Amino acid sequence: MLLHVPNILDREQVARFRQALDQANWTDGRETVGPQGAKVKRNLQLPDASPLREQLGREVLDALARHPLYHAATLPLRTLTPRFNRYEGGGQYGFHVDGAVMALPSGEQLRSDISCTLFLAEPEEYDGGELVISDTYGEHEVKLPAGDIIIYPSSSLHRVTPVTRGARIAAFFWVQSLVRDDSRRRMLFELDTAIQTLTRTGADAQAVVQLTGVYHNLLRQWAES
């Protein structure tokens, strides 16, 4: 499921993030990928050990926890603390698929079901830098307002086009969902969205209760711990 979730961060939060990131010490982004990824990756990243990465990453996680649409779409079980990257001067990332399993600081492993990019620069601030996601329906170009997030299956082939003017700044991270299968997550999300709409429009209360029961019973059947 490819989904645009708006307003994860508000304008004040984005401005504060940008002020801190504009003064940050960035390193070569190839340090965090394997040999294959290093061949096609050209960007800058906050070091994993950076206190700023930890601070801003935690703020992003707190904002996500308060956002019901994001939660309904991802059904998160484990989330990797967000990282931050910067593309400028022709920086790009060629087509690749994200790693399937990642290590958490706790020592646990995270299966990457969902990839997330949180945009921190306005589209007019830079040229290029589109996130291109390839699926069975073709290629989708994504370039969102600052503070908005795109979520998509981690199994997707994707790339970032060259940035030829300005700087593209973003946070990115991965989620292990309670529901591994993307098609099942989509069905649950659509069912949840329909229930919310029926509730707001005053539909028959008993029918809403029954549909809510169907939602939770499907989640109970499909959820993994």
Per-residue model confidence (pLDDT) at position 53:
97
Sequence-ordered list of residues with C-beta below 8 angstroms from that of 30, at least 6 positions apart, any chain: 37, 38, 41, 42
Mind listing the domains of the chain with CATH numbers? 3-177 (2.60.120.620), 182-222 (4.10.860.20)
CA distances 99 to 34, 54, 146, Å, are: 10, 21, 26
Please state whether the predicted TM-score (pTM) of the whole model is above 0.85.
yes
Contact 65, 134 (CB under 8 A): no
Task: Identify the three-state secondary structure at position 158.
Answer: strand
Chunk the chain into consecutive blocks of 10 residues (it has 225) and report each block's average pLDDT, rounded to whole numbers: 97 98 93 75 95 97 97 97 97 95 92 98 98 94 98 97 98 98 98 97 96 98 93
Give the containing element (helix H, strand E) for 5: strand 3-5
**How high is the pLDDT of residue 36?**
73
